[in-house]
Structure 1
Amino acid sequence: MVSVESLLSEVNTLFEHRLVFKAADELFFGDKMLYHNHSNDGSKKEISGGNRDTDRRKGKRKDQKDKNHSSDMNEKPVGSDGLRNAIASARKTIKQALEDTSDDATSNALTKLTEEVVALKKINDEMRNEIDKLREDFQKILNYAQQLKPCIFSALERVGSRTLILGDGNFSFTLAFARLHPETEICTSVFESYSEYVTKYPSAKKNITELRTNHPCVHILFSIDACLLPKDWAGFYDDIIWNFPHHCGKTNLRKSRQLIRKTFASVGRILLSGRFHITLAKGQSGLDHSSILSKRCFKYRRLPEHRSDSWNIIYIAAEEYFILQQAFIFQSELFPQYTSSGYHNSERSFNHKTGSETLIFVRTPVVTRIKEFLEYENKIFRIKRVAHEWRPFFQRDLSIIYLNATKAAELEKILFLLIEEFCGHALLDFYEVIDLRTYYLGQPNHIYRFIWQSWRIPLSK
């Protein structure tokens, strides 16, 4: 049986290069070479006994040389044409080596590899550009967050020197707030007169007694309508707090919005610079509750999720030039003595500790000119197609008929440039709704969706 090792010993490791070596030998020696295999094995007997045979072979070789000498003189010298033949053979051998199929595969693989390297380099350059763009956008968001940071801390950790509390019901919130801020001058109020109040909230007498006895900075006011606050209070209060507002009667969306609208108008007349804190039950504000829970107020390439079946408080606030500065879950742990009241216009309590939202509004300058509005908007950092969860946004469809169909593409580019220049940072998105494309009197009618939003100046219809 033939072993693997014996077969491998017969394989010439330089087999594929034999033609090249052959051509090199022919170039060097000037003629074709004859190769023999010689064994290194031999006995001493053969060496010692082979002297006579060697001498005999030498004699024959000498005679043969002398015999052929005359004929060799007439022949061409060895190697005179052999060099040319060797060169030609070498060229042919090299050509065969270059035309070998294995080399073609290597060449194809090298070409493919080169193409892949070029493609990878292109992808790498694109990724670098994307990373640079992301870094730039992240820096803009970070800068905007730094602008909000002082407002956030002032809203959460402290209030002004004078605070007005509206519609406190049983005054339990006022009591807890006074314990948290003992040096703040507090005016707390209810809608009812004193006689109506003690009838409606009989258990609140002990809270009134404690406030008047232990908290001299607290002033209790009766018959105060949040919708008609006295004008002579203008500029007096730094903070106004209103927890769980409701109209007298069953829940009604229209009446609730009307109450909010009148109160914002009333507060706007007296709160010249300060904060308006409103706490609502979960879902009443119309804002995305998850954005308040996670304090995430930016969305990229997505519109804010504002519920229409709600109080739409940020839209109503914008009508009176109020903008939402901060939103967070109501911190009931700060006010352990607080027990809600007023359920169904009575002393009955309701659940205020689960998901209630505290919204802090501030008043903004009144802007009536587009140029002035754009100046305010362009002062802040904005990223294209990034929407703010806590700002009103509006969208309208715009119909444009192109009388010259051949120039529709060119005119559309001009339209986009004009819209972007005219709206500035307020432009959230502008695109054609392809599904609504029609024809009017044989001319193309394109429908464009126009979406805008302001971050610094509140917009309303």
Structure 2
Amino acid sequence: MSTSINDLPPEMIVRILQECDILTISRLTAVCKFMRLIIDAHHKALPRRELKSVTVHSDSLTIVRENEGMIGPEEKVKPHGFTSLEQSGNVLAFADVGTFRLDMLTLTDEKSTTWSSFFRTFHTKASSLHFNITVVTTSALLDIVESLCPKSLTIEFEMTEGPLRVPRLCQHHAVQKISALTLLNSNILDECLDTIRIPTVHLQGNTEITGFGLQNVLSDWLAGKRTIKLYEIAARGFVSPSHLFHNIPAEHVEDSDSWLIRRGDDVLMAPSVKRKLDEVLEDHQSIKVRGIDEVEQSAVTTSFCKDWFHAAKSILILGDGNLSFSLAVAECEPNIPITATVLDSESDFEARYPSCANPEKLKKHDNVDLLFKIDATDLPQEWKGRFHYIVMNFPHPGGKTNLRKSRELASAIFRGVGKIMTKETEFYLALAKGQAGVEPNENGSVWSKLLPNHSKDSWQALYLAADEGLLLTDLCTFPSGAFAGYSSSGYKSTSKGFNNSRGAVRMLFKKSPIFTSLSDIVSLKRDREDFHLLRSYFYHDVSFLFSEDIEEGENIVFDLLRELAGSAVIEIREIEELRSMCPDPYLPNRIYRLTWQIVEVAVGKRLCNDLQEQLRGEIQKSIRCRNLPLILT
């Protein structure tokens, strides 16, 4: 009597399949599709292999078995090329793998589809899945994750930005099912944290996470939107405890470096007051957010203060909402006279910050003079020349963000501060990311062959300052988290802070010499013909009619403009699309665009408009006196 394959026990079919390679299995399943039905129907009862680990490398497949009596504890296959899984994948059929590693290889979408199809067909599972510097797309990675169903996932990114997208990764249903996620050198941003809803998270190495991102995580937990078993996150920059727990009801555990956050019967312990330096990279400092003790935080603050204020003879701090910045500076600079000010009256301050002890702490410093109700836009005239350094961090007009109101406030601040400045005074203004309209150059130079990229959708601080006679002389990043206990306040006129921990800049302004005549401006020397990144620039057009030869007339125009404008006009170009013939008189018309940029003195929009009118007057005078074949229109 004949026997069909349907009569064979499922266990025997499995044993047969486990002795075949993937290519053979593929042929069998193509011919006998009912094999898959048998496997699917009986896979839960089928015998499974226990594998401690599987590592797929670019040129090898390494398998470590749980049972060392089977073929030995480790089996390594070194096939030619990138076919290791295809040639030895039968070992993985019906296997439970402890740790499955894909190590330093290129995993194409096509290859991922083949592998994941095998894992699904033969019910290969992995407890832990680890991608180690693997070149892989998000789709390919998710295929593998979905097919192996790991409980934990580790991805070690290359230092360079790759095709993986963290938000898409974390929003996928297969990733949301895992219980532990580790991302190494992912450059993950604050907003990506919103997509991670996994109880155990390790974000290590190179990240772009700030204290505000960590704050949001704690707020989500308090609101019941997130389950936290263990979070270990490396944050970019300095995150002080006062910043991390701002508006978070945290309780400090006595005689320890831990804080407790309570949500009903649930308690979260955050050892965040003892933060340690993880590693120092060229562009930022990556710090594990486990807090920092008072001695270490004080050392960081002192280092920044000494670097900033080492030459200061006196310091005026304007608009320090909750006085936390003034206190941080006062505690590390006890020998420099400091005048700390706030806009609120003393009673308004107490109402806005009812539990704030900073005023009392400042009053204990002999070198500090604390003043309330000081308006940076209307400073006492008798203060002129009294202060060497003037500092103001993150001014804001109150209420909702409004670009017009913000510019009006900035202009008024420059006007008010400018009135009490002398040529020795240094005015430091810190603005949040995107507000200044200008950013530090990556190579550190202030010169560029290209036109400066000054954002129009910003406060345009250097332009407003120039209108008030102030010259931007330096620009650098502002690490607000480096100052112990400092947190900005006043968001929408409340005690809440601003998200200014990343991308903030510190601008240094000095009093500019006053030059208003074109002849004086032209006499100034310019060291280089390049564009200056920290100087305002303006476009103005001039239009000429040519009564004789156009080519000769254009040469006359260029020579005349260079003679009369000097280095104040850095670029002259014709707007060719506006070429035309003037109907009356019927003469060729050419329009030239002048790019004004003066380096040595502050020139704002008002002064540049006036200089353009002076230039037009000089052009008219030269045409008449020299009888030039030109008509200025």
Q: TM-score higher than 0.5 here?
A: yes
Kindly state the Cα deviation for residue 183 of structure 1 after the two structures are TM-superposed. 1.1
Kindly state the Cα deviation for residue 249 of structure 1 after the two structures are TM-superposed. 1.7
1:286/1:310 contact within 8 Å kept: yes
Kindly state the Cα deviation for residue 352 of structure 1 after the two structures are TM-superposed. 2.3
Local SS of the residue matching 2:419: helix
Q: Equivalent residue for 2:564?
A: 422
Larger radius of gyration: 1
1:292/1:328 contact within 8 Å kept: no
Kindly state the Cα deviation for residue 322 of structure 1 after the two structures are TM-superposed. 0.4
Q: Equivalent residue for 1:201?
A: 353
Residues 37-76 of structure 1: per-residue CA shift (max 9 Å, x gap): xxxxxxxxxxxxxxxxxxxxxxxxxxxxxxxxxxxxxxxx
Of 310, 314, 336, the residue aligned with 2:484 is 336
Local SS of the residue matching 2:540: strand
Q: Equivalent residue for 2:314?
A: 162
Of 496, 520, 524, the residue aligned with 1:348 is 496
Kindly state the Cα deviation for residue 180 of structure 1 after the two structures are TM-superposed. 2.9
Kindly state the Cα deviation for residue 390 of structure 1 after the two structures are TM-superposed. 1.1
Local SS of the residue matching 1:216: coil
Residues 313-338 of structure 1: per-residue CA shift (max 9 Å, x gap): 11110111101010000033541221
Q: Equivalent residue for 1:318?
A: 466
Of 339, 352, 355, the residue aligned with 1:187 is 339
2:536/2:597 contact within 8 Å kept: yes
Gaps of at least 5 residues in structure 2 are 1-305, 606-633
Call closer, same or farther: CA 1:155–1:392 in 2, change over 3 Å.
farther
Q: Equivalent residue for 1:297?
A: 446
Matches of 2:332 and 2:482, distance apart in 1: 8
1:318/1:460 contact within 8 Å kept: yes
Give yes or no for the alignment of 1:265 onto 2:415.
Answer: yes
Give yes or no for the alignment of 1:175 onto 2:327.
Answer: yes
Matches of 1:208 and 1:345, distance apart in 2: 19
Kindly state the Cα deviation for residue 219 of structure 1 after the two structures are TM-superposed. 1.0
Matches of 1:159 and 1:346, distance apart in 2: 35
Give yes or no for the alignment of 1:396 onto 2:570.
Answer: no
Matches of 2:540 and 2:495, distance apart in 1: 46
Q: What is the aligned-residue RMSD (CA, Å)?
A: 1.9
- The structure with more helix, counted as a fraction of residues: 1
- By relative contact order (CA 8 Å, sep 6+), the higher-ranking structure is 1
Call closer, same or farther: CA 1:293–1:201 in 2, change over 3 Å.
farther
Local SS of the residue matching 1:170: coil
Matches of 1:155 and 1:294, distance apart in 2: 21
Local SS of the residue matching 1:344: helix
Gaps of at least 5 residues in structure 1 are 1-153
Of 210, 222, 233, the residue aligned with 2:383 is 233
Matches of 2:552 and 2:475, distance apart in 1: 45
Local SS of the residue matching 1:270: coil
Of 366, 382, 385, the residue aligned with 1:216 is 366
Kindly state the Cα deviation for residue 234 of structure 1 after the two structures are TM-superposed. 0.8
How many corresponding residue pairs? Answer: 298
Local SS of the residue matching 1:336: coil
1:11-410 aligned at under 5 Å gives the runs 156=308, 158-204=310-356, 206-213=357-364, 215-272=365-422, 273-287=424-438, 289=439, 291-292=440-441, 294-300=443-449, 302-332=450-480, 334-375=482-523, 377-378=524-525, 380-383=526-529, 386-404=530-548, 407-410=549-552
2:477/2:506 contact within 8 Å kept: yes
Call closer, same or farther: CA 1:341–1:294 in 2, change over 3 Å.
farther
2:398/2:491 contact within 8 Å kept: no
Q: Equivalent residue for 1:23?
A: none
Matches of 2:510 and 2:390, distance apart in 1: 11
Kindly state the Cα deviation for residue 292 of structure 1 after the two structures are TM-superposed. 4.5
Matches of 1:430 and 1:372, distance apart in 2: 21
Residues 233-290 of structure 1: per-residue CA shift (max 9 Å, x gap): 1110011111000112211111111111111111111111311111000001111x3x
Call closer, same or farther: CA 1:220–1:251 in 2, change over 3 Å.
same
Call closer, same or farther: CA 1:436–1:414 in 2, change over 3 Å.
same
Call closer, same or farther: CA 1:313–1:346 in 2, change over 3 Å.
same
Local SS of the residue matching 1:203: coil
Range that drifts further, 291-300 or 272-281: 291-300
Residues 86-139 of structure 1: per-residue CA shift (max 9 Å, x gap): xxxxxxxxxxxxxxxxxxxxxxxxxxxxxxxxxxxxxxxxxxxxxxxxxxxxxx
Q: Equivalent residue for 1:449?
A: 593
Matches of 1:306 and 1:415, distance apart in 2: 29
Residue type matched to 2:351 in 1? T
Matches of 1:200 and 1:293, distance apart in 2: 40
Local SS of the residue matching 1:424: helix
Residue type matched to 2:557 in 1? L
Matches of 1:267 and 1:350, distance apart in 2: 23
Residues 156-212 of structure 1: per-residue CA shift (max 9 Å, x gap): 4534211110110111101111123221100011111100110011232x1122211
1:185/1:217 contact within 8 Å kept: yes
Local SS of the residue matching 1:168: coil
Q: Equivalent residue for 1:105?
A: none
Local SS of the residue matching 1:421: helix
Q: Share of identical aligned residues, percent? A: 37
Matches of 1:245 and 1:179, distance apart in 2: 23
Matches of 1:400 and 1:374, distance apart in 2: 22
Matches of 1:155 and 1:435, distance apart in 2: 53
Call closer, same or farther: CA 1:294–1:242 in 2, change over 3 Å.
farther
1:201/1:346 contact within 8 Å kept: no
Residue type matched to 2:527 in 1? F
Matches of 2:339 and 2:346, distance apart in 1: 16
TM-score between the two structures when normalised by the length of structure 1 = 0.62
Local SS of the residue matching 2:326: helix
Kindly state the Cα deviation for residue 221 of structure 1 after the two structures are TM-superposed. 0.3
Residues 385-410 of structure 1: per-residue CA shift (max 9 Å, x gap): x1111110011222211122xx2211
Local SS of the residue matching 1:361: strand
